[in-house]
Copies of this chain bind each other. A is one copy, B any other.
Amino acid sequence: MLKFTSMAGNIFGTLFRLTTFGESHGDAIGGVIDGCPPGFKIDLQQVQKEMARRKPGQSAIVTQRKEADQVRILSGIFEGITTGTPIGFVIENTNQKSKDYDHNKDAYRPSHADYTYDQKYGFRDFRGGGRSSARETACRVAAGAIARQLIPQVEIVAYTAAVGEISLKETYPAIDLSKAEENPVRCPDPEIARQMEAYIRDIRSQGDTVGGIVECVIKNVPAGWGEPVFDKLHAQLGKAMLSINAVKGFEYGSGFEGTRMKGSEHNDRFNPDGSTQTNYSGGIQGGISNGMDIRFRVAFKPVATIMQKQPTITKDGQQVIMQGKGRHDPCVVPRAVPIVEAMAALVLADNYLLQESNRVAARSSDATPNS
C-alpha cells in the first residue's frame, strides 16, 4: 500500500520560535523567527561570521562545495534593531550540482535517510538528500546567531573533543577554550588538533569517514532557567542536539561516566555562595540551571557518504554496488561546532523568555499579587 505523510516538525521553540524551510537543491532555504522581542541591536556581520564557521569549503578538511550562504533578512529588523515583528530570512542556494547525485536516483545510500524517506513519504528528493540534507542546518546557525544577541552575557563555546580515537586528554576548565577557533578542527589543544587534522586527511585519502565528539560549555546562565518536569533544561538541550544530523548521543555533567559513581562521590558540595565545589551536575539540577557552567557532550557518527564501493539495494530490492560522489565531509565535527552552539542559543533564548514570562509577581506594577 502506498503511504504519504507530510513533514511536520519544522518549528522549534516555545516563545522564541524558529520555523525553517528549504531543500538542499531547491531555490532557497530560509526561516522565520516569531517571538523575538523588539529593541535588541542585531549585528548582522556577526550573523554572517557564524555562517562562515559552518560554511562548506572553509578549510582543507571539509567538503569543498562552495555556497555563499548570504543571509538576506526580509523583515523584523529595522536599522539594525529588532522591531518585535517576525524575522523572515532567506539563503539562496547558489551551487547545487544535482548531477553529482544521479547515482542515488535508483539506489538507497546505506545509513542515510533515503530508505526511510521513501517509506514515509513515498517520495524522495535524491538531489542531495532534500530536506534531510545538512544544508538545513544553515538556517539554524542564522537563527542561533540572532538568538545569541538576546542574551549577550551568556557565553556559549563548543569545540571538538574527539575525532575517532583521538580525544582531548584534559578537559575544561583545564584547557583554554579560546584556542579552539585557531585551527580548522576546532580543538582547543593545538597538539591534539594537529593529530586530529592529520587523521582526517588520512581518512579522507582512504575515501572513508570518521565520527567524533563535540563538547559545549555555557557560562553565565543565571540560576532558574528551565522547567522542572517534561521540559527540563537538559531535556530541551538534548532534544536540540539530537535533532542535528548525524548525532547519536547526548550527555551532560557526569553523563554516562557518572553512572559508575557513588552518591557520596557524585554529590556537588555547596560553597556558602550557592556555587558548588565540583560540577558533576553540569550546571543543571532538577531541570533548572544552578548558575554553574552548563556542560554537555554530543556524539556524532561517521558521515554515511563514503568514497568507497559499497553494496546496497535499489527501490525494487535489487542488489547493486554504489560509490559515493559529490563533495562531502570526511568528518562532520569541525563544521558541527557552530551548529551545536546555535541550537544551544535557541534553547537558552527561549528559556530566558519563558523565565521572564512568569517573573511577574515580584516586579509587575500593573498586576501585583493580591496580597
Contact = CB atoms under 8 A, between A and B. Distances in A.
Given A32-B31, A37-B361, A87 B21 contact: yes
B224 A5 contact: yes
A181 interface: no
Interface stretch (A61-69, A71-79, A190-198): A71-79
Given A5-B359, A263-B305, A305-B263, A274 B313 contact: yes
Given A88-B21, A263-B306, A4 B273 contact: no
Nearest to A255: B249
Nearest to A251: B249
A3 B116 contact: no
A22 interface: yes
Contacts of A35: 6-8, 358
A160 to B, nearest CB: 11
Q: How many A residues are at the interface, by size bracket?
A: 35 or more
20 contacts: A7-B227, A7-B228, A9-B231, A9-B232, A19-B19, A21-B32, A78-B125, A84-B358, A86-B131, A111-B267, A112-B286, A115-B270, A115-B285, A131-B229, A210-B262, A232-B243, A235-B243, A238-B250, A269-B312, A272-B317
Given A117-B288, A274-B313, A313-B274, A86 B34 contact: no
Nearest to A305: B263
Interface in A4-47: 4-12, 15, 17, 19-23, 26-32, 34-41
